[in-house]
């Protein structure tokens, strides 16, 4: 069975400081990893996927298979980054049945 762990429920960071949201996973195969974000009063939306290896809104995440981690990073936090962030895993086959972590609420302090 797969599992996603986000150890921090809450994270507060000053504006301009670096941000790192932790995510660890367990899965026997080769999964796809995602970060989803939910801003206040908006829908849950995809932030980035490990296979695209791109930076979205200044965020990056590298899949580390040795450490089974997919931490989300941004060098300089902005106030608009305040949101709920979820790490998610999808087995590398079939449908969009995702396994999510418990989420981290990120608050950027002005």
Partner 1 sequence: EAGVTQFPSHSVIEKGQTVTLRCDPISGHDNLYWYRRVMGKEIKFLLHFVKESKQDESGMPNNRFLAERTGGTYSTLKVQPAELEDSGVYFCASSQDRASPSGEKLFFGSGTQLSVL
What's the closest the beta carbon of residue 75 comes to partner 1, in angstroms? Answer: 23
Contact 91, 2 (CB under 8 A): yes
Cβ proximity to partner 1, 43 vs 110, nearer residue: 43
Judge contact between 105 and 21, C-beta under 8 A.
Answer: no
CB of 16 to partner 1, least distance (A): 28
- Which of 48/77 has CB closer to partner 1? 48
How many beta carbons lie within 10 A of that of residue 48, not counting itself? 21
We find the least distance from the C-beta atom of residue 4 to partner 1, in angstroms, to be 7
One-character DSSP codes across 6-29: ---SEEEEETTS-EEE--EEE-SS
Instruction: Report, in Å, the least distance between residue 100 CB and partner 1.
Output: 4
Nearer CB in complex with partner 1: 44/109: 44
Positions in the binding site for partner 1 (CB under 8 A): 4, 9, 36, 41-46, 49, 52, 86, 88, 95-103
Closest to partner 1 by CB, 29 vs 43, is: 43
């Amino acid at each position: 069975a797969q599992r996603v762990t986000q150890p921090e429920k809450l994270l507060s960071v000053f504006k301009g400081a670096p941000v790192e949201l932790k995510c660890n996973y367990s899965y026997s195969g080769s999964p796809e990893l995602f970060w989803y974000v939910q801003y206040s009063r908006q829908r849950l939306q995809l932030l980035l996927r490990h296979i695209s290896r791109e930076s979205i809104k200044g965020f990056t995440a590298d899949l580390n298979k040795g450490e089974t981690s997919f931490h989300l990073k941004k060098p300089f936090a902005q106030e608009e980054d305040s949101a709920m962030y979820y790490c998610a895993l999808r087995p590398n086959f079939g449908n969009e049945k995702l396994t999510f972590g418990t989420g981290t609420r990120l608050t950027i302090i002005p």
